[in-house]
Amino acid sequence: MTSGLAYAATPASGEAALESPNIITLLHHYLPGFAVVEFLHHFEDLFFSAVVIFILALIARKVSRQSRSIPGRLQNFVELIVESLDNFVVGVMGPVGRQYTPFVGTLFLYILCMNLIGIIPAMKSPTSNVNTTIALALTVFVYVQYTGLRHLGLLGYLDHLAGSPRPQGVIGCLIAMISVPFNLVLHLLGELTKPMSLAIRLFGNIFGEDVLLGQMLLLGIAALGFMHSPVGIPLQLPFYLLAILTSAIQALVFSLLSTIYIFLMLPHEEGARH
């Protein structure tokens, strides 16, 4: 195990692997050349994402198939989570937000579980890879634009991007003719920067969290040499609570911003009702 930890701290493909090793990293170290291991090593973030999806799907299937009028502990727990997520979305968007609870709620649970899975020994947070967070952000971006087109129509969508100008009089029309192109460009840039900010924020925080835990783990292993300790010092343990808190906050921030982006794309009369 110590050699595996040392392997994780050595340069790989020209870059230093700063995170603690996971089960696939160790398999790749001890069983090089195996086609399955090489495949998993190349797609390890997708593998751990699939593990999270499988766990969530298994829990959802178990609860839905064994639903009772007098719920058990698991059903109570799941219903509490669903109700809390629904209250969260409705609290931001108003009653119209209930139709978006499945999307935002699934997004929150998926990101939260992907963040937390890296705390488990021999596992990895897929969100510590920028490719995963970009994929999540692009999913939100596409959903937001689809929502705008579905509710506003093509002309309404373009009108929204142009700043919804309503000029009055000759001077107002002249100002609108000048300002509309600028508004359109600014709105387009704003829509394009939203997924970038979502992806980079989530990636940076989770990657930094995993690096901190990995370095504390390696430092505890290194203490074996100069302290003559029979076991490594678990220096990473105090940071687990911080990692759990950071994981929850980042999943909440990602979901909250996604909810706001959806709400801003809805017709103004729906926003007024909120």
pLDDT of residue 4: 43
Q: What is the largest CA-CA distance in the chain?
A: 85
What per-residue confidence (pLDDT) applies to 65? 81
Q: Among 79, 78, 83, which residue's Cα sits nearest to residue 101?
A: 83
pLDDT at 269: 58
pLDDT at site 166: 64
Q: Which pLDDT score, from 0 to 100, does residue 141 have?
A: 94
CB count, 10 Å around CB of 86?
17
Task: Output the pLDDT for position 152.
Answer: 86
What does the pLDDT profile of the chain (274 residues) look like in tens digits? 444 444 444 434 333 456 778 889 888 888 888 888 888 888 999 999 999 999 999 998 888 887 777 777 888 888 899 999 999 999 999 899 899 999 999 999 999 999 999 888 889 999 999 999 999 999 999 999 999 899 888 888 887 777 766 666 666 566 666 677 777 778 788 888 889 999 999 999 999 888 888 888 787 777 776 666 666 677 778 888 889 999 999 999 999 999 999 998 887 654 444 4
Taking the C-alpha atoms of residue 49 and residue 45, their distance in angstroms, rounded to an integer, is: 6
Residues 6 or more apart whose Cβ sits within 8 Å of residue 40: 24, 27, 28, 47
* Burial class for 144, CB neighbours closer than 10 Å (0-12, 13-18, 19+): buried
